Structure formats: structure tokens, C-alpha cells
Structure 1
Amino acid sequence: MFARLSAARTSLIKLVAGLSFVALASCDVASVPLPGGGPKIDTSKPVPVALLVPYDSAQASDIALAQSIENATRMAMADLQGVTIDLKVYPTGGQAERASAAASQAVANGAKIILGPVYGGSAKLAGIPAANAGVNVLSFSNNPDVAGGNVFILGPTFENTANRLVRYAVKNGKRKILIVNGDSPAENAGANAIASAIGRNGASMMGQTSFELSQAGVTQAIPKIASSSRSTGADAIFFTSGNDGAMPLLAQMLPENGISSPNPQFIGLQRWNIPPTAMSLPGLQNSWFAIPDVALTQAFSSRYAATYGQQPHTLAGLAYDGIAAVGALVKSGDANALTAQALTRSSGFAGVNGVFRLLPNGTNERGLSIATIQNNQVVEIDPAPRAFGGFGL
């Protein structure tokens, strides 16, 4: 027990850096709205595409991320049939100001669409010179606060994930949901998304318990969470925390206080199979969380590893998806293929992580699988949809 507790507390210390799931920098400036806007293109010629990635960053992790994204982009380009991409790569150093300058240079060089940058604040600033030139931006961010106008985000959003999970919970008889979240901007936003999804899908919100993001804060919150679960009759607890934060400690201490999944059912807004070592935590067994389409993701990872000799970064698939969307639109031969109206077509696109579509508000909707952990292994219990049809927000 003490070894597990130590590991959980060590994980909690990492909260200093904030939660990685949506804690991307944002900015107060707004991109110029371009309803339905975008550049005209000549589909008979290579399409100029700019890729903004954090090369030149002082962080080694940024450099590795940039390389993985570029690799996936070039893999996608090679897979296109009947469409040629003229790709130019622009380093941002992981800095918003450099991303803005890179976007300015990209549109000056004739880019018809911009892929990237990664971070939310960078995406927002890059969107301004791009908007002035009538060019749309497909950012790898998952921060909805930076979406809108000519800026679209490709990363999975809290709203999309919460809606998928609550819908599945209701379908499987888990309608009385208690929300548990850390007190941070990211986790509070996640809690709001869960609350909206509960109302949207006919479930009942049995209450909300938040805690200070510290070891002491989690420890002090355990009795309250356990009490609320029992007194309200909640049949599910929906957590916003991830394994890089408070979840390992929550998953250990709640069962020690008589609260364990599946009664009530633990549901996670974040992917509880990351890192893989977390799957051995007893408290995460029989939990539910959402992941990208399992078969497609595995196929992409295998192809990437065979090509580049290592596994792709988790964001690399977004780069592939961006190129896949551009290719599908340009192949139509329409000069307006890269306008916002075309990018937000309701049928969406087939990506390496599953089906996805861009929404008029700049966010996105993705087909997600529901997974659980059994015997320390991830098990898909509800496959991701392969088309939108009746599936949607």
C-alpha cells in the first residue's frame, strides 16, 4: 500500500505544470471572423500548405513533438491520390509571438491553409495575420477558447468527450452522475462540459465536489466525495482528473473508503490508460473513459513505427488528419475547397484516429471508442462510430 501511495503522491506533484489535457495557453485577442471564408485555390497545381511546429524550442520535448508531427504530415501527403501538397515548414519555438510571425511569413509565401501551431495561445495569434490574408488555420490545440473565426482546432475537446461518455452511461443505466474535479481552470472547464452533457443526454446531476490540487486537498476531499456518493445515490462518478495529476491518489483512496467502480461507475474525462503503468492501479479497473478509434489508431501507429522506427507522438495523428481533410476537399476540384464552409461539411472526414468533423464555431466532433481497464489491460467496450449519421452533439 505504501508503495502505491508514494507513486500516487509523486504523480500529484506533477500538477505544478498544470493538466496537459487542455491547459494550453490562451490569449485575449480575437481572430477576425470569416464566416464561410477562405482563399481560392488552383486545384490543378500543388496546394501550398504551411506547417507551424515548435522547432527551435528550448524544450527537447517540443523538438520531438515537432518532428513527429512533420513525419505524420509527410506520411499523409504520400498517401494522397490525385492531390499534391507543396509543404513549407515554419518553426515557432513554441512561442506565440513567433507563431504569429511564422503565419505572416507563410501567407506572404502563398500558403492557402495553415496546419498548426500546437499551443492555444500560438494558434490564436497565428490566426490574426492568417485571417487578414483570408487563410484558415487548423491548429493542433484542443482549447475551445482559441477556436472561432478562421481558427479551427483539431484536438479532442472536453465537450465531445463528455457527451460521448454521458450518452454511453445513460444507455447503460448510469443516469445519476456525481462530478468530481480539481479546482483549476482546466478541470473546472471539464466539469462544466460534463454538466452540459448530463443535461443534454437526459441524465441527472447528483452534485459536484471539487478539491484543491494538492496532496492535502485530495486527502481532505475523499470523505466528502464518499459521503456525497452514498447520500445522493449516485450510480456514477465522473472525474476530470488524469493520471498526470490527482487521479492515481483518488483511485487509491476512494476504494479504501468503500467507493469503487463499477458501483458507482468511475468515468474519466481523460485517458486513464496513459501512461501504461497506470493500468495496474486497482482503483482504475472497470472504469470507463474515451479513446480514439482503437483499430485505426493501432494501424496508424504500426505504419508510423515501421516508417520512422519509433512510436508517434499522441498529437501526430492530428497532423495526418489535417492533411487528409485538405486532400479530400482539394480532390473535388472546387476552387473553394479550403473555405470555412467546405472545411465544416457535415459528413466530416476519415482520419487515422477515426471519423471527425470541424464545426462552424471552430471546435470539432470526433468519433470515440469507450474503453475500460480489465486485468491491467485496455478493453474496448463500445467501438467508435465510423460515420456521423445520427451520431452527433
Structure 2
Amino acid sequence: MERLAGPLMLRLGRAGRNFVACLCLLALAACGDGLDLGREAVSKAELTQPIGAGPIKVALLLPFSASGGNARAARALRNAADLAMSEISDPQIQILPIDTGGTTEGARAAAQAALGSNVRLVLGPLTAVEVRGVAPVARVANVPIISFSTDSTVATSGVYLLSFMPEGEIDRVLRHAIGGGARRFAALLPRGEHGDVAESTFRSRVGLAGREAVAIERYGDQAQLEAAIAAIAEVAGGEKPKVDALFVLEAGTLPKLAEAGVKQGEVQILGSGQWNEAEVWAMPEAAGAWYAAPTPTGFEAFGRKYQARFNAPPPRYATVGYDAVSLVAALAGLGGERGFDEQILTNADGFAGIDGVFRFRKTGLVDRGLAVMEIRDGAAAVRDPAPSAFGS
């Protein structure tokens, strides 16, 4: 019998009433009967069928009818929720999937429909645009949200982000490089929101550590990219670079950096969580680079279960749907609706899921225990293991 991860651990209580409870994620091997959501054509009616029959209702707000990638993401997250419920013994929750349409207005209507069904917690939605429609409605009803958005600006008390935040991934790999003795840093970043987040995190971590940010180059169009690479080559290229480490957000720039004389080995190249893909590992220029990501063993086991149930491989982000449902089922099983109280959701010890330990801050942001990976021989290997628990 294959288990995806160790127990999901949680510590509850403040005044001498602490206890540790365990729920094994995927404790059962049986997959039960369910919708064949792995096939190409699945109707909205099928996607919005309730999952489970427990007494505590939990909404799952996703953009099932949106176009393109968001609709595919919605289906994958719904699949992961279904998988989690099928492998939890006697879940005390019922999941109500509701379509948001991928818009603020649609998400607001979905939240109102969910509250009309007396849900006690909201899982989702997927994007910041949708969260902005759901959050005011849920706040009035005092119903917490565990969202899959990666936009930290929508996090707040009562709106918790379970996603993989770029800030955490960048900070982790920078801390590892600093711990290894790197003192002088450069960064190559695209213009736009993702680049802004990366630059802010880069400046913050390097500055807090008392290290030097020698150069930060940004680019938009091709001409700007060529100019930025030339500037980076001035400090990170050649046999005696002026920096110890170079952070690169987009792996697609690595060939041009190499052409300009910036090479791993002379300078340590640091990447982002976006590099956790086989296409990046196969790039010769990426060999030896480091990036932060979850330890891969949990996802590999999850992938086998998902493939067997839905006849399709899961996208990497699908694990957050599984962990979200496993978490709320565990909390509901222990304390009913009280399990969704802020002090329990934000307990400092956190929880352990498929992708390792995580915890919610009172600000709504998530801390994750990430490994540092090193690209070698067309694959990624763990260079520095993820922590198994959070420090005090």
C-alpha cells in the first residue's frame, strides 16, 4: 500500500491543552468510484457535483468555465480534491465545487452561492482576480479562505494562500548561497509583476544578510534583453567574475548568457521555482545551477495515484488541491467547525503535506519547507534537504 507522505501533524490549543493529532495523507489504497475526470470532455455539471457527504460543508471555488490554462488548472485541482476525499476514512466534510468563471463578478456570485449553502470554509479560488471577489463576501460571514493564488497582495487575515509563493522559493535559494559564502550578487529579471516580486525579494534577502547587490538588470523586449545580458556579462562573465552568484528568473535566458561568457562554475547560477521542469534540466547551460523547490518524492508518489485514477499525469501544482482537502478534513475530524478557527489554522508548528511542511501566518501568507535542488546530468537532485519541521 503506497502512502504519499507522512502524517499530517497539527498542534492545537494555547493554555496547557496542547495535543498532537495525526491524519495519514492517503491512508487508504482504495480509490472508490468517482467521475472519470481524466477524459478530455467533462461537463460543468459533472465538475460541480458534490464530493463526499459529511456534515460540514466546504466550498471549492474554481474557474471551471474559464478559457485556456485556468480551466485546465481548475479541473486538475478538482481531481486532486476528489482523490483526497476518496482516500480519507470517514471524512466529516462535503466539498461543494462551484464555478467562478474566472472573473471577479463570477467569483463573488460563487461565494454568495456557497454561503447560501452554509459552507464553513472556502477552498480556492485560483487567481487574485477571483479572490478579490470572494474575500469581502466571506469576511462578512466570518468564513476563512484557503486560496491557490500566488499573488501575495491578496493575502490577509482570513485569506490564506496555500500556493507556492515565488518569494519563498527565491529567498530559500539565496539563503543557501549566502550560507555557502557568497557575498556579491547580481540578478537578471524580466520587467513586469513577476520581475518586481523577484527584485524585491532579492534586494531584501541580500541586504538583510549584509551582502552586496552588485547589479540588477531588467528587460522587456529583445533589445532590452540583449542590453541586460551585456551588462550582466560585465560583472558575471569571464574567468574572474565580480560576483559570486547570479540569480536568473527565466531559464530561457541561459543560452544567451552563456554566449556572452557567463557560465556556471565561474559564477554560481541561481534559479527560481519555475526551473522545476524537465525541459530546464535538459538545458546544458543549466547544469550545476541551484533552485528551491519541494522535495520531489511526495509528488512522484502523488503522480502515480493521480495517473491511476484519472488516466492522465497531474500538473505540478495539483498537490495543493490534495493538501487543502486533506488539511480541512483533518481539522474538521478533530474539532468540527472549530477546527477552522484562526488560532488553529495559523498554529506555529504548521502541517505536513505531500510537498513537505507548511504553515499559515496571520497575514495570510504561507511558509514552506523547501529543498535546494541542483541540476545534474539532465535531472534535479537534492543539494540541501527541506526541513522536516519549523524552528521556534
TM over 0.5: yes
Q: Is residue 276 of structure 2 the alignment partner of residue 269 of structure 1?
A: no
**5+ residue gaps in structure 2?**
1-53
Quickly say closer, same or farther: Cα 1:344–1:117, change in 2 above 3 A: same
Tell me the CA shift for residue 126 of structure 1.
Answer: 0.6
Q: Is residue 258 of structure 2 the alignment partner of residue 255 of structure 1?
A: yes
Cα distance in 1 for partners of 2:138, 2:70 equals 23
Trace 1:194-233 onto structure 2 (pairs within 5 A).
194-200=202-208, 202=209, 204-229=211-236, 233=242
- Cα deviation digits, residues 82-101 of structure 1 (max 9, x gap): 53221111011111210111
- Cα deviation digits, residues 96-127 of structure 1 (max 9, x gap): 21011101110111010000110111112211
**RMSD after superposition:** 2.0
Cα distance in 2 for partners of 1:333, 1:364 equals 22
Aligned to 2:365: 363
Cα distance in 2 for partners of 1:328, 1:261 equals 45
Q: What amino acid does structure 2 have at the position aligned with 1:236? A: A
Q: What amino acid does structure 1 have at the position aligned with 2:314? A: P
SS of the aligned residue for 2:340 comes to: coil
Task: State the TM-score, normalizing by the size of structure 1.
Answer: 0.81
Q: What amino acid does structure 2 have at the position aligned with 1:263? A: E
Cα distance in 1 for partners of 2:180, 2:305 equals 35
Aligned to 1:325: 327
Q: What amino acid does structure 1 have at the position aligned with 2:262? A: I
Quickly say closer, same or farther: Cα 1:389–1:80, change in 2 above 3 A: farther
SS of the aligned residue for 1:320 comes to: helix
Aligned to 1:55: 64
- Cα deviation digits, residues 170-226 of structure 1 (max 9, x gap): 2222232212212212201211112212233x2513323223222221112122101
Tell me the CA shift for residue 62 of structure 1.
Answer: 2.9
109-118 vs 77-86, greater mean Cα deviation: 77-86
Cα distance in 1 for partners of 2:256, 2:74 equals 38
Aligned to 1:34: none
Tell me the CA shift for residue 341 of structure 1.
Answer: 1.9
Tell me the CA shift for residue 334 of structure 1.
Answer: 5.6
Cα distance in 2 for partners of 1:203, 1:311 equals 44
Aligned to 1:84: 92
Tell me the CA shift for residue 56 of structure 1.
Answer: 1.5
Q: What amino acid does structure 1 have at the position aligned with 2:200? A: N
Q: Is residue 141 of structure 2 the alignment partner of residue 133 of structure 1?
A: yes
Aligned to 2:7: none
Cα distance in 1 for partners of 2:81, 2:105 equals 24
Aligned to 1:337: 339
Cα distance in 2 for partners of 1:135, 1:289 equals 36
Trace 1:148-159 onto structure 2 (pairs within 5 A).
148-159=156-167
Q: What amino acid does structure 1 have at the position aligned with 2:343? A: Q
Cα distance in 2 for partners of 1:251, 1:232 equals 16
Q: Is residue 148 of structure 2 the alignment partner of residue 146 of structure 1?
A: no
Aligned to 2:171: 163
SS of the aligned residue for 2:339 comes to: coil
Q: What amino acid does structure 1 have at the position aligned with 2:121? A: I
Aligned to 2:118: 110
Cα distance in 2 for partners of 1:381, 1:338 equals 36
SS of the aligned residue for 2:266 comes to: coil
2:293 touches 2:373 (CA, 8 Å); kept in 1? yes
Trace 1:369-380 onto structure 2 (pairs within 5 A).
369-380=371-382
- Cα deviation digits, residues 8-45 of structure 1 (max 9, x gap): xxxxxxxxxxxxxxxxxxxxxxxxxxxxxxxxxxxxx6
333-342 vs 137-146, greater mean Cα deviation: 333-342
2:306 touches 2:313 (CA, 8 Å); kept in 1? yes
Q: How many residues align?
A: 338
1:356 touches 1:366 (CA, 8 Å); kept in 2? yes
Aligned to 1:300: 302
Quickly say closer, same or farther: Cα 1:209–1:389, change in 2 above 3 A: closer
2:64 touches 2:71 (CA, 8 Å); kept in 1? yes
Structure 1 residue runs of 4 or more that deviate by more than 4 Å after TM superposition: none
Cα distance in 2 for partners of 1:81, 1:317 equals 19
1:177 touches 1:203 (CA, 8 Å); kept in 2? no
Cα distance in 1 for partners of 2:350, 2:305 equals 23
Tell me the CA shift for residue 60 of structure 1.
Answer: 4.0
**5+ residue gaps in structure 1?**
1-44
1:176 touches 1:203 (CA, 8 Å); kept in 2? no
Q: What amino acid does structure 1 have at the position aligned with 2:73? A: L
Trace 1:163-182 onto structure 2 (pairs within 5 A).
163-182=171-190
Quickly say closer, same or farther: Cα 1:203–1:285, change in 2 above 3 A: farther
Cα distance in 2 for partners of 1:68, 1:194 equals 32
